[in-house]
A and B are shown apart, each in its own frame.
Chain A
């Protein structure tokens, strides 16, 4: 405890002044937006955009860490290197849609997107649309959507960057970026490779006698290439072609309590994403078209080698052909409209080589959108949109959403925002056709959501402050749950079981200040999420009105960074509140609840700039106070560990 206080006191001394710095920082700090400056398409939307500092400080990590550390969204992860999914506002992983340059990356097979396989390094802009705001970009995001975009920097014709990081548990990461071209044509190449033995020590409370143990069978590696070509004409047309190829191989460790014969369990993911994108800008019309392929194979294998027994050896292949055409029209300074059409075709083939079972299914889905934007003054903007969708011979004719934002007075930069929407989420192909237990009779999950926000932003030459508070409520009917078959069959099956009511609040702030020799920045988010099952009919069912399992009511994060000359010291704090693991929210001292935890991280960053070169070094201590916690029941997590990164940038 004394050591903890000592470190705190040191931190206190260090953080009287603040600012963020970064590795291979190529992004400009954004301007603070007031309504007059905002894109009319974004008016009325609840949008979170982690700033460039957040993106760059998590550049060597996956998207799950960026979102967990800098937004109010809760990330559920089975551990370091393992799959991670996002939960917006107490909803399920399938209710979060992840889009890369507009292309949906969620698996049509299981409905989720694994954020641990999305490197921040492969993105230039990340933003989140919460609740009904996601309707502007697509449907199915009952919780919200995460948008990863690539943007080309036309101001430079040559930029090279290399970044290496080494950290505890034999973890090595290498990143490389080459941006080359001229004013018309650009090529941007990005590569990464990451591997880890992931054999961290932990105290095992799950076996007798309790003892210090080492995580086994948790090694992983992943590698990827993102190649982009951009071409622009004098007549304001921009064409781009993107290839993203990625492979990963992750061993899957057992629970702490496992003392059986060693298992060989792994998951191999291969992804190929190709996109052709065309944009044309005129005075009154903007056109956007893309066509693309998202192809994924996943191989899951589990065996007990000593027993010469293979439990499962399944391979799935998913191909999603996605096409999008959007027209944005400016009628006059006050009236705008967007119309879009999406035609997507998905193929899923899954086969368990152990027993030959599986399914081959296809899905054709279309979506029409008309979105009417109004901006009658610099202080008021609104939208009304209507979607109509079709999938598997189901037609969902009316999916409306509407919202507005209003700056109350000219003098005061305070905005009110309101957003309401209906939304729905299609059953995944596994939900419908998995053997055994898939249920072809499943209904789509149907939801209504609304939020109201108050946003205050101000900025001057030395000081910037931005904060937003949002209250939300969502109701989702026909929530799909997999559970043991109700007819007594021994397998699990999918059913429309729950009605879920989610309500709560989200708050975020950021503040920055410049002094002559010091710069500082701080920020944080907090979310309160009360998400409950309303469909507990039986009197003995104690789940009515109780918090859904694994969803924290309280989640927050905070950072403070100080820059003195070329040194930047940054401290991050993350809090995840108590989570229940039983639907009735039973409290017990016997690990029925996952206790709240605080995670601290501290990093020191040094930059050296010589002409066109910039050398960057960063030392980070993760889990600074060696917090012992569980993120998922009986899944170990590492204690304090360290990383060192070095980046070299050249820009001409």
Chain B
């Protein structure tokens, strides 16, 4: 059949064609008008949180998605409120909420890949101020009413700022070898883990803001805690196979903060991946995640052989312990791209409650 010789199926003449074109345009206009009408401004939501009976939970979101969020769970009423920051302030929390702290009447929220730290009112989540100009802030350590440190993954210094005015007041240079991660303080010394491609705990004199010493520990020290005996515990992840720094077994290390010496190293098996070191309220028991939640007395000479709360079938992502009753909150990231579930366990490991928060919960803050 020659092209065009067949019957015209839908359109018989130019007038019909014009009609059809007009119809298409009308439909397009209608669709556009409807689309234009559907945009409504987001209304501000006002909160009055019972911060004495609840836990704040920061959710990292996904890297480069800018979908970090803040949740609050009232453990008396079991009520959960998600997206607090966005709901109250009409802007997103940012990209990767790393950690949070309460200092006086401010809640500090570290937005890691947004290079900033927000200060909000803990009861209302209302914006109070922001520290900008950072690059990859990780954690905060408060030295005094007017001085606090900010660690940074992508800087060779620690930023010093005033928590009252939110002004940056100085820097502590760490040399080109080091970056900074978690911080704990014993006496006048702040101990800082230099995690990425490093094996040092840095000792900073909080009075002079100077780097005083370095303590060598197993590779990639990350989490730090100070126990009831005033000893520092360091959880090292050991790096990864093929790393230019090499790799080794993950380890739990105890440091004497008086002498700056390593007292004990407990090595995990090479295929283990322990993370998120926490302490109970008495500070005599360490908890961490390693195929489940593991418990270890600080005086123990060996690592626990099995998980206290099994993680089978779950993707445990982070953990927090309520200092009031030692209840354990563990997040399950599910598939890392949907709202996570938080399991609330009693001190003895019995499931008390579970609830949904944002994507990839990173930190818990009680009281």
Using a CB–CB cutoff of 8 Å, the interface residues on chain A facing chain B are 1, 4, 8, 11-12, 15-16, 18, 31-32, 34, 36-37, 205-208, 210, 255-261, 263, 304, 306-309, 311, 355-357, 378, 410-414, 435-436, 456, 458-461, 463, 465, 483-491, 497, 511, 513, 515, 520, 522, 536, 538, 540-543, 549, 558, 560, 573, 575, 581-584, 586, 588-592, 595-598, 625, 633-634
Contact = CB atoms under 8 A, between A and B. Distances in A.
Given A208-B89, A260-B114, A591-B67, A586 B338 contact: yes
A582 B274 contact: no
Nearest to B94: A257
Given A411-B7, A484-B333, A491-B240, A260 B115 contact: yes
Given A260-B134, A522-B24, A541-B335, A435 B9 contact: no
Given A260-B114, A536-B335, A206 B92 contact: yes
A634 B92 contact: yes
Contact of A488 (B92, B95, B241, B274): B274
B135 A263 contact: yes
A490 B237 contact: yes
B9 A304 contact: no
14 contacts: A16-B22, A210-B90, A258-B113, A259-B133, A304-B135, A309-B135, A412-B7, A465-B10, A543-B338, A558-B28, A582-B359, A595-B39, A598-B32, A598-B35
Given A304-B135, A436-B241, A413 B6 contact: yes
B17 A485 contact: no
Contacts of A1: 36
Interface stretch (B99-107, B150-158, B211-219, B296-304): B150-158
Contact of B86 (A207, A306, A590): A590
B205 interface: no
6 tightest A-B contacts by CB?
A260-B115, A488-B273, A460-B4, A584-B338, A634-B66, A436-B240
Contacts of A489: 237, 240, 273
Given A355-B245, A520-B21, 9 more contacts: A261-B133, A355-B243, A357-B244, A413-B1, A463-B17, A485-B273, A488-B316, A490-B273, A634-B92
A588 B83 contact: yes
Given A12-B25, A307-B156, A586 B134 contact: no
B3 interface: yes
B243 A357 contact: yes
Given A463-B11, A511-B17, A558-B28, A486 B4 contact: no
Contacts of A8: 29, 32
B244 A356 contact: yes
A255 B61 CA distance: 14
Contact of B67 (A463, A592, A596): A592
Contacts of A32: 3-4
Interface string B296-330: 00000000000000000101110000000000000
Interface string B86-127: 110111111100000000000000010111100000000001
A205 B1 contact: no
A590 B242 contact: no
A207 B338 contact: no
Contacts of A491: 240
A435 B197 CA distance: 14
A590 B337 CA distance: 16
A538 B339 contact: no
Contact of A259 (B4, B62, B130, B271): B130
B266 interface: no
A483 B7 contact: no
Contact of B291 (A460, A488, A522): A488
B336 interface: yes
A488 B289 contact: yes
A400 to B, nearest CB: 32
Nearest to A633: B65
Contacts of B136: 260
B282 interface: no
Interface of B: 1, 3-4, 6-11, 14, 17-18, 20-22, 24-25, 28-29, 31-32, 35-36, 39, 42, 62, 64-67, 69, 83, 86-87, 89-95, 111, 113-116, 127, 130, 132-136, 152, 154-157, 197, 222, 237, 240-245, 271, 273-275, 289-291, 313, 315-317, 332-339, 341, 359-360
Given A307-B135, A309-B135, A461 B4 contact: yes
A208 B241 contact: no
Residue from the set B69, B91, B222, B315 with the largest chain A CB neighbour count within 10 Å: B91
A543 B337 CA distance: 9
A513 B133 contact: no
Given A309-B155, A436-B240, A465-B11, A15 B4 contact: no
Contacts of B244: 355-357
Contacts of A308: 156
A263 B136 CA distance: 11
B36 A411 contact: no
Contacts of B289: 488
Given A257-B66, A458-B4, A582 B338 contact: yes
Contacts of A549: 337
B21 A522 contact: yes
B330 to A, nearest CB: 12
Contacts of B291: 488
Nearest to A31: B3
A591 B92 contact: yes
B269 to A, nearest CB: 12
Contact of B335 (A414, A483, A490): A483
A598 B133 CA distance: 36
A410 B87 CA distance: 64
Contact of B21 (A307, A411, A560, A592): A560
A484 B336 contact: yes
A456 B9 contact: yes
Nearest to A481: B335
A208 B128 CA distance: 10
Given A15-B25, A488-B289, A255 B135 contact: no
Contacts of A596: 35
B356 to A, nearest CB: 9
Contacts of B135: 260-261, 263, 304, 307, 309
A317 to B, nearest CB: 19
A268 to B, nearest CB: 20
Contacts of B7: 411-412
Given A257-B94, A257-B95, A483-B336, A458 B8 contact: yes
Contacts of A410: 1
Nearest to B132: A259
Given A206-B66, A586-B339, A307 B157 contact: yes
A457 B21 CA distance: 18
A309 B135 CA distance: 10
A513 B337 contact: no
B134 A34 contact: no
Contacts of A16: 18, 21-22
Contacts of B127: 208
Nearest to A37: B3
Nearest to A536: B335
Contacts of B87: 590
Contacts of B333: 484
Given A259-B116, A260-B133, A596-B35, A515 B14 contact: yes
B67 A459 contact: no
A261 to B, nearest CB: 5
A206 B91 contact: yes
Nearest to A592: B67
A463 B111 CA distance: 60
A577 B86 CA distance: 24
A34 to B, nearest CB: 6
A18 to B, nearest CB: 7
A598 B155 contact: no
B25 to A, nearest CB: 6
Given A412-B7, A598-B31, A436 B243 contact: yes
Contacts of A257: 66, 91-95, 111, 114
